[in-house]
Structure 1
Amino acid sequence: MDPVRADQAQRQKWWRKYSAVINTTQYGGYLELEQSATTLRSYEPQLVPGLLQTPEYARQVITAMRVDLDAKQVEALVDVRMNRQTLLVHDDAPKLWAVIDEAAFRRIESRPTVLKEQLEHLLDAEPRTNITLQLLPFAAGFHPGLYGSFMLMGFPEPNPDVVWVENLTNSVYFEGSDDVGRYTEVFDHLRATALGPPETRSRIKSMLKEL
């Protein structure tokens, strides 16, 4: 990590008390980057982004995906996820632009209470000037985001942008211009294909009416 980025991240290492569970998820490095980013561009094909999840949604996701963790460890990761979200309400909050595939919402239709709370939470969060939400509908068909989720992070000059990619056993970030440029191109394609923010808000309201 470059000095400017590191200095900013060092100011708020609130996650240290969760180090036991974070160390097993390769999460610590991500948190340092996220805390010092000025822009966050997220694409999620299967889940609501962690920065926008409700506690119960996060609990169910972590429980289902991390079968290696006991209940106490799951709750620790839920706490971490909720603490992460406080960065979006600071005076110097980063700008979050999230493109979320329709599958992320349809996947939990069998849990209407959880889905309802999560949809309402997105409607509450979306009016903030630093948050832009777009839904990528099934009607978009095949697209370059099918490779999987990613997060593009921007930082103050002279620090380069970073792209973070997570999989089952590892999490990695790239800051080479070719890698970042390719993911930026894909993100631009996805946000051009997705519903605009007003249409996304209308679609979320329609989903709520369906419940």
Structure 2
Amino acid sequence: MGGITEGFAVEPKSEQRSALLLFAQHLRRLRFAADLTQEECAARLNYSAAHFSNLETGRRMPQEAFVRAAEELLGGREILLGLWRLARDQVMPSGPVADFFAAEEVASSIHTYQAHLMPGLLQHPAYTRAVMASHRPPLPATEVEARVAFRTSRQEVLARDDPPWLWAVIDEAVLHRALGGVEVMRSQLDHLLGLLASHTITVQVLPFAAATSPAMGTSFTLLSIPGDADHVYVDTLTGGQAHRADASAVGAFQVAFDYLREAALSAATSVALIERQRKEFAT
């Protein structure tokens, strides 16, 4: 990818300076030039100071609406937008998978089955970082952080004024696998239990004792979009596949998810199991 104009030429895969960090640094420079504190800038953009701080330190990938509003406020001359696009392209695939992530932002319901990992929308940043750090071959540290920021930004869909109904079925093994270590799993399960206080989020656990596994260990996510075709994303070792127009493929995963819900523990029993496992990691 070519460099950004207006004095910014960047190496998209540079281990020293990722585009996300360049975005964060340029945002900070623009704020300083405007003689605004983080709190003042955040207030004018209608964001919390904590959220703005995460963006200014490169811990989160911003949404496009934030970038455009920041440019209008701070006079970014589209440099900020260019850096954001570069950062997004580093961590976000193109084609149908990109369409899937765009659809996720407007979905009315999200159904997901995860056989090996916590669902991305329910991950604590430390857990996500452990997932990315386990990639083989290893990813550059800056790319790990960019991917963590992107996944964290996706989770903002759960804080919409009209959040989607998220229903997740996770294999019991996910709760026992100490990915990233005991402290990371404690944080992850605390985070999950906090999210389950929302009436729009349901998690069921598929127990070890389940007599059937309709998905045969295949993790997938289904999206329902008002007035549009349903989408399905299937996890693979090389990054996943997205389907939209193939009604038979989408239908097969919908049937599998219904069977998974039937085979899983109830929501209340699942919460109790998560709480017990949280205590196990505390000892």
Amino acid at match of 1:65: H
Structure with greater proportional helix content: 1
Q: Deviations over 1:99-148 (max 9, x none)?
A: 01011121117821111111111110012111111111111144112241
| Aligned positions of 1:57-68 closer than 5 A | 57-68=127-138
State the match for 2:226 in structure 1.
156
Choose which of 123, 126, 134 in structure 2 pairs with 1:53: 123
Counterpart residue number, 1:84: 154
Partner of 1:7: none
Kept in 1, the 8 Å contact 2:97–2:242? The answer is: no
Unpaired segments of 5 or more residues in structure 1? 1-9
Which residue in the other structure is 2:188 paired with?
Answer: 118
71-80 vs 199-208, which deviates more? 199-208
Q: Mean Cα displacement is larger for which, 108-117 or 20-29? A: 20-29
In structure 1, distance between residues paired with 2:191 and 2:126: 12
Kindly state the Cα deviation for residue 32 of structure 1 after the two structures are TM-superposed: 0.9
Q: CA deviation at 1:189?
A: 0.5
- Taking only aligned residues, the RMSD between alpha carbons, in angstroms, comes to 2.4
Preserved contact between residue 127 and residue 180 of structure 2 (Cα < 8 Å): no
- Report the counterpart of residue 131 of structure 1 in structure 2: 201
- When the two structures are superposed, what TM-score results if normalisation uses the length of structure 1? 0.86
Task: Tell me the distance in 1 between the aligned counterparts of 2:94 and 2:243.
Answer: 21
Comparing 26-35 with 118-127, greater Cα deviation is found at: 26-35
Greater relative contact order, per chain length (Cα 8 Å cut-off, separation 6+): 1
Q: Which residue pairs with 1:4 in the alignment?
A: none
SS for the counterpart of 1:133 is strand
CA contact 2:127–2:179 (8 Å) conserved in 1: no
Q: 2-side partners of 1:170 and 1:98: how far apart? A: 20
Q: Match of 2:13? A: none
Higher Rg of the two aligned structures: 2
Aligned pair count reads 201
Deviating beyond 3 angstroms after TM superposition, the runs of 4 or more aligned structure 1 residues are 10-17, 23-27
Partner in structure 2 of residue 187 of structure 1:
257
Distance 2:154 2:136 in 1: 19
2:234 to 165, 182, 191: 165
- Cα distance change, pair 44–12 in 1 and its aligned pair in 2 (3 A): farther
% same residue: 37
Aligned counterparts of 1:149 and 1:52: Cα–Cα separation in 2: 15
> Residue 173 and residue 111 in structure 1: after superposition, are their counterparts in 2 closer, same or farther (change >3 A)?
same
Question: Matched residues in 1 for 2:250 and 2:117: separation?
Answer: 22
Q: Which runs of 5+ in 2 are unaligned?
A: 1-62, 68-83
Q: 2:158 is matched by which residue type in structure 1?
A: L
Q: Secondary structure at the match of 1:134?
A: strand
Check whether the contact 1:26–1:170 (CA below 8 A) recurs between aligned residues: no
How much has 1:177 moved relative to structure 2? Answer: 2.3
Check whether the contact 1:136–1:193 (CA below 8 A) recurs between aligned residues: yes
Does residue 1:93 correspond to 2:149, yes or no?
no
Partner of 2:35: none
Q: Distance in 2 between matches of 1:25 and 1:180?
A: 18
TM-score (norm: length of structure 2):
0.65
**C-alpha deviations, 1:159-211, integer Å up to 9, x for none?**
11111113122532223222121111110000111111110111011112222
Instruction: Report the counterpart of residue 6 of structure 1 in structure 2.
Output: none
Q: Write out per-residue CA displacement over residues 79-99 of structure 1, whole angstroms, 9 at most, x where no aligned residue.
A: 011111111011121111000
Which stretch of structure 1 is more off in the superposition, 186-195 or 105-114? 105-114
- Aligned CA distance change for structure 1 residues 44 and 50 (closer, same or farther; 3 Å): same
Matched, 1:199 2:269: yes
